[in-house]
Amino acid sequence: MRFFLMIFAWLVLGLCFLVNKGECLIPKSLLKDIHSVNKGGPYIGVVVPNGFEMNPLLQSSSFVVNRKHPYLDISGRRFRVGTLKNQRVIIVMTGLSMLNAGITTQLLLSMFNVKGVVHYGIAGNANVELEIGDVVIPKFWAHTGLWSWQRYGQGPESELPLESNGDYTRNVGYLKFSDYNNDTSIDNLLNNVWYQPEEVFPIRTTPETRQHVFWVPVDKHYFKLSKKLEGMELEECINATTCLPRTPKVARVERGVSANMFIDNEAYRTFLSSKFNATPIDMESAAVALICYQQNIPFLAIRALSDLAGGGSAISNEASIFAPLAAQNAVAVLIKFVQLLSS
Ligand SMILES: *[C@@H]1O[C@H](CO)[C@@H](O)[C@H](O)[C@H]1NC(C)=O
Ligand SMILES: *[C@@H]1O[C@H](CO)[C@@H](O)[C@H](O)[C@H]1NC(C)=O
């Protein structure tokens, strides 16, 4: 009997069962609100890096706030509840970079009844065939910030430390610093860094049994559906006189990359393009992708390109003028995609 009471208490009190209310991450009253929100689900989770990118969505007439629970605050994040084109959504802002993006996405999926995640924002561009203002949807994302940094004197034939344990690998490839000396015949003490796949622990596998993944695929169905976005009309001008060089477009592309690095460097941008065939370069998408991959939740990312990362295009000096337009276009594509999902 006592056992059943305990189970019952566990179900009712959830995470707070064993700790004092004051110490708990999720107080009982909040748990009740989460439960109430979840009864209105399932939701599409809309995950966005910062306010600059989120505000045009919140201000859009397409977003209708839930009256009973406009938002719930959990662990320093605000989960905004509402509908977008009749699709139930929870919108959450992560903050900058991979750790914030991963934590926030995990919180979203752990707390709420979410059937899919759509991530959007702006990004640097590594693809010279596309222009500022274009909105891209990659098929794969990788985290390109996990490295094994090789000691000076060793090369591609040398085994990496802990490689034999399966911790690190030479499968993905490397960046050789001396390739970026002005005189490439001179060695560079920074030697090589080797890109590493992420260790992942997908649900419904034995806990603590790691797998590895570098290229995380987006959801097949979502990606197929996103084809309908190509040809969509996007905003070209910020006012009557200041316009982009050409009308921006939506393009599905092969690959995007993310890392805790703001890339404003032409040499590295060119490397990311030639080595990884990357188009958008950002600081969050791969983290959101990795969490959704492990939680087995459909995922897609929509990123509007700001200027070529590291400069080089004719309008690079005007990139900041067009950043709000890029954010607006990302929001327009997101809304259209959510609409497609509900139809
Ligand atoms: C790079 O090398 C070229 C050719 O050797 C030389 O003309 C140029 O001044 C060098 N640039 C720098 C920054 O050292
Ligand atoms: C349009 O925007 C640009 C850039 O902000 C500004 O320099 C220009 O004066 C604006 N033109 C009009 C007609 O408002």
190 Cα: distance to centroid of ligand 1 (angstroms): 20
Residue 55 has pLDDT above 90, yes or no: yes
Query: Using N-to-C axis directions, what is the helix angle for 51-59 and 319-342, rounded to 10°?
Result: 50
22, with CB counted inside 10 A (0-12, 13-18, 19+), is exposed
**Atom of ligand 2 at shortest range from CA of 240:** 13
Q: Are strands 147-149 and 192-195 parallel, antiparallel or unpaired?
A: antiparallel
Rounded distance, CA 194 to CA 163, Å?
11
pLDDT at 4: 56
Q: What is the pLDDT of residue 235?
A: 93
pLDDT at residue 131 greater than cutoff 80 = yes
Alpha-carbon separation of residue 251 from 29, 51, 231, 232 (angstroms): 45, 24, 9, 10
Work out the number of other CB atoms within 10 angstroms of the CB of residue 302.
Answer: 26
Average pLDDT over residues 5-9: 53
pLDDT at 223 over 60: yes
Among 56-60, 160-164, 270-274, 318-322, name the one with the lowest average pLDDT: 318-322
Q: Which fold has domain 40-146+197-342?
A: Rossmann fold (3.40.50)
Q: Identify the residue whose C-alpha is closest to ligand 2 atom 6.
A: 242
Kindly report the protein residue whose alpha carbon is nearest to atom 11 of ligand 2: 241
Lowest-confidence pick of 67-76, 192-201, 305-314: 305-314
Query: Quick one: pLDDT at residue 308?
Result: 76
Query: Above 70 in pLDDT, residue 21?
Result: no
**Cα-to-centroid distance, 239 and ligand 2 (Å):** 6
Q: What is the pLDDT of residues 233-286, one digit of tens each?
A: 999 999 999 999 899 999 999 999 999 999 999 999 999 999 999 999 999 999
Please report the pLDDT score of residue 316 as a whole number: 61
242 Cβ below 6 A of ligand 2: yes
Residues in CB range of 214: below 8 A, 6 or more apart: 142, 143, 172, 195, 196, 197, 198
Q: Is the pLDDT of residue 232 over 90?
A: yes
Q: CB-based burial of residue 290 (10 Å sphere; 0-12 exposed, 13-18 middle, 19+ buried)?
A: buried
pLDDT above 70 as % of the chain: 91
pLDDT for 277: 98
Q: CA 10: distance to chain centroid? A: 34
Helix (H) or strand (E) holding 152: none
Q: H helices within 264-305, ranges in order?
A: 266-276, 285-295
> What are 295-315's pLDDT values in tens digits?
999 999 999 998 777 776 666
Arithmetic mean of pLDDT, 172-200? 95
Mutating to test ligand 2, I would choose from 238, 242, 317 the residue with most ligand atoms within 8 A of its C-beta, which is 242
**What is d(CA 33, CA 21) in angstroms, rounded to the nearest whole number?**
16
The mean predicted confidence, pLDDT, of the chain is 92
**Cis peptide bond prior to 42, omega within 30° of 0:** yes
Tokens of 44: 């599409």
pLDDT at position 57: 98
The rounded distance, in Å, linking the Cα atoms of 316 and 244 is 11
What Rg do the C-alpha atoms of the chain give, in angstroms? 22
Provide the pLDDT for residue 321.
86
- Interhelix angle 285-295/97-111, rounded to 10 degrees, is 30
Instruction: Write down the domain spans for the chain.
Output: 40-146+197-342, 151-193
Ligand at shortest distance from the CA of 183: 1
For position 82, what pLDDT does the model report? 98
Whether residue 17 has pLDDT greater than 60: no
Residue 26's pLDDT band (cuts 50, 70, 90): confident
Lowest mean pLDDT among 88-97, 179-188, 192-201: 179-188
Tokens 């009557």 correspond to what residue? 240
Say whether pLDDT at 103 is over 80: yes
**Which of 204 and 25 is assigned the larger pLDDT?**
204
Measure 240 CA to ligand 2 centroid, in angstroms.
8
Distance from Cα 334 to the centre of ligand 2, integer Å: 27
Distance CA 229, CA 136 (A): 10
